[in-house]
Structure 1
Amino acid sequence: MKLSKMLQSIGIDTSLDRDFEVKALAPLESASENEVSYIDQSKYLENLKDSKTGAVLIKEKDIKSVPAHIQPIIVPDPHLAFAKLSAFFAKDEFAHPLIEKHKTQIGENTTIMPNVFLGENIKIGKNCLLMPGVVISDNVIIGDGCKIFPNVVIYRESQIGNNVFIHAGTVIGSDGFGYAHNEKGEHIKIEHNGKVVIEDDVEIGANNTIDRAVFGETRIKKGSKIDNLVQIGHNCIIGEHTLLVSQVGLAGSTTTGRNVVMGGQAGTGGHIHIGDFTQIAGRGAVGKNLPPNTKWGGHPLMELDEWMKFFVTLRRMVKKKSE
């Protein structure tokens, strides 16, 4: 659909110097001339100069930062306008009945147990085991030597590497928790049109939820091990050989280096990076980027030695007060 038509349909009446068929919504750093991006925070304005995006949703006060090759679309709330536009690109979870269907490919020595549901155009490697109650949506790729335990659900376009174990009740590739809010306080859904990629030798515990990306991908890198009851938000990147203990929660766009360890119930805010070989003690609340080869704990987060001293001092104060 033409950009002008899309804007009109969501109530944005603006003149355009350049109209074009919109291929997709995309982030500034990877968008092409037939895609649309948005900026709702001034700190991202510097990314405009190197972007190849065709158009950008932007506030009027920031218009001078838009280069000549990008079509500006001035809106009061770029995040809200982006949410409304995302509905044009929402994908069906399963093939429409009128669309030509493609057969699933299953490798040798792979066992599909009873009551497994397989969508269309799925590729499953050799020596895999899919247990009862598994649901695999359309266009999913599963490598060799994988075990998918009962009642796992893998949403569309997810990619699973070799020798991956996914335990019972886990959901891979569901929508991230993303909404914009209008002037009435109503929540407008942001359609998540990306995917989840799980690399080789990953083990994922029971009742995990790993959300697909808004655009692009959520990625779990090689050799990572994830305990039960972990939530990984949209567009997170988990580095190689990372350990996430039970009830860890990672907000959207959290990234980690390799061999990160997060203790039980630790969590992050969004858009945070944790460096290589860094450790977070249980219930640690990460609200800032963390350098590599460090240890942290507590809330507010402190270096682990400092946190332990603080906790001991606090206990002494409480004990003294009660005497």
Structure 2
Amino acid sequence: MRLGELARAIGVAFDGEDGEIEGIGTLKHATAKQLSFLENPKYLKDLAATKAAAVLVSPKYADAVPEGTVALVDEEPYLKLAMASAFFAPEPMRSEGKEPAIGEGSVVAEGVAFGKDVTVGRNVTIMPGCYIGDDVTIGDGTLIHPNVTIYHGCTIGARCIIHAGTVIGSDGYGFAHTKEGKHVKLHQLGNVVVEDDVEIGANCAIDRGTIDSTVIKEGAKLDNLVHVAHNCEIGEYSLITGQVGLSGSTKLGRNVVMGGQSGTAGHLEIGPFATIAARGGVTKSIEGGRVYAGFPLMEHKKWLRLNAMLSRLLEKKN
């Protein structure tokens, strides 16, 4: 779409150089033919360096938009982004394209459904009931158990194991809210990238990125019933046990261990070689190389002392 046409469609005043807009990008990665946005002042440093053609921005940050980038100023930039995303959302299922290219030695069960332009490597096994969407790539030696769904545009590495019932690439939980309390869908335009030697347990949900990718790095192992929200990054060789939930844009360093039913708030970082004990609640970024527990989260030794003190206090009252 032309930028001026897009601005009119979402109800934003436009006064600048018109041009072709081919999609939406983050401030850090947007090209000169993409629209971006700023909602959180945490990303002002990315705004200063952005190459985006235009940026949706609130009035208080309009002056921070760099020269050469059109400022689309609005009181509700995130809501306008959600409206704009609808124009760039891919078709849920294409009718045109190539049939799947399946590598030598691969075994595909009857009843597996493929989208268009799928690439399957050598010695891959795909069991019954799976759906592999448009433009998916699966690396050599990967094993996909029954009833796995991989949405369009996702990439699965080599020698991965994905257990039954898991969904990779479903939409992240992204909505903008009007002043009247209605919820406007922010169409999820990114994908999921699963690197080599990753194992994902049964009935996990790995959301696609809003704009960029959700990434599970090499050698990570996920247990059953894990939820990874949009734009998360799970570091190399991390261990994520059952019923863990990661909120959007959580970044885990390498070799992070998360115990059962632990979880994170969004937009935070967990340092490499950190361990979160079962049911730990991470609400802010934490350093690596330590063991944490509890909610609010604290170092494990401190949490043990706290609980010992509470136990003694109760004994005294009795």
Q: TM-score range by the shorter chain?
A: over 0.9
The correspondence of residues 1-323 of structure 1 with structure 2, limited to 5 A, is: 1-12=1-12, 14-95=13-94, 97=95, 99=96, 101-321=97-317, 323=318
CA contact (8 A) 1:283 1:297 kept: yes
Question: How far apart, CA to CA, are the structure 2 residues paired with 1:182 and 1:228?
Answer: 36
CA contact (8 A) 1:93 1:155 kept: no
Q: Structure 2 counterpart of 1:182, which letter?
A: T
Question: How far apart, CA to CA, are the structure 2 residues paired with 1:225 and 1:15?
Answer: 48
Question: How far apart, CA to CA, are the structure 1 residues paired with 2:266 and 2:106?
Answer: 39
Could you tell me which runs of 5 or more consecutive residues in structure 1 were left unpaired when the two chains were aligned.
none
Question: How far apart, CA to CA, are the structure 2 residues paired with 1:304 and 1:142?
Answer: 40
CA contact (8 A) 1:265 1:283 kept: yes
- Cα deviation, residue 176, structure 1: 0.3
- Cα deviation, residue 42, structure 1: 2.6
Question: How far apart, CA to CA, are the structure 2 residues paired with 1:114 and 1:103?
Answer: 16
Tell me how large the CA RMSD over aligned residues is. 1.1
Q: Structure 1 counterpart of 2:228, which letter?
A: I
Q: Structure 2 counterpart of 1:5, which letter?
A: E
- Cα deviation, residue 72, structure 1: 0.6
Question: How far apart, CA to CA, are the structure 2 residues paired with 1:261 and 1:60?
Answer: 42
- Cα deviation, residue 318, structure 1: 2.5
Q: Structure 1 counterpart of 2:49, which letter?
A: D
Q: Percent identity?
A: 44
Q: 1:90-123, CA deviations, whole angstroms, 9 ceiling, x for partnerless residues? A: 112321x3x3x21211112211112111111111
- Cα deviation, residue 292, structure 1: 1.6
Question: How far apart, CA to CA, are the structure 2 residues paired with 1:119 and 1:297?
Answer: 44
Question: How far apart, CA to CA, are the structure 1 residues paired with 2:64 and 2:104?
Answer: 56
- Cα deviation, residue 184, structure 1: 0.8
Q: Structure 1 counterpart of 2:219, which letter?
A: G
- Cα deviation, residue 16, structure 1: 1.7
- Cα deviation, residue 45, structure 1: 2.2
- Cα deviation, residue 79, structure 1: 0.7
Question: How far apart, CA to CA, are the structure 2 residues paired with 1:110 and 1:47?
Answer: 44
| DSSP-derived class of the 1:61 partner | helix
CA contact (8 A) 2:223 2:240 kept: yes
Question: How far apart, CA to CA, are the structure 2 residues paired with 1:117 and 1:43?
Answer: 43
Q: Structure 2 counterpart of 1:203, which letter?
A: E
| DSSP-derived class of the 2:81 partner | helix
Question: How far apart, CA to CA, are the structure 1 residues paired with 2:150 and 2:252?
Answer: 23
1:252 and 1:42, CA in 2 relative to 1: closer, same or farther beyond 3 A?
Answer: same
- Cα deviation, residue 48, structure 1: 2.1
Question: How far apart, CA to CA, are the structure 2 residues paired with 1:316 and 1:187?
Answer: 49
CA contact (8 A) 2:7 2:14 kept: no
Question: How far apart, CA to CA, are the structure 2 residues paired with 1:86 and 1:312?
Answer: 52
Q: Structure 2 counterpart of 1:130, which letter?
A: I
Could you tell me which runs of 5 or more consecutive residues in structure 2 were left unpaired when the two chains were aligned.
none
The aligned length equals: 318
Question: How far apart, CA to CA, are the structure 1 residues paired with 2:6 and 2:57?
Answer: 16
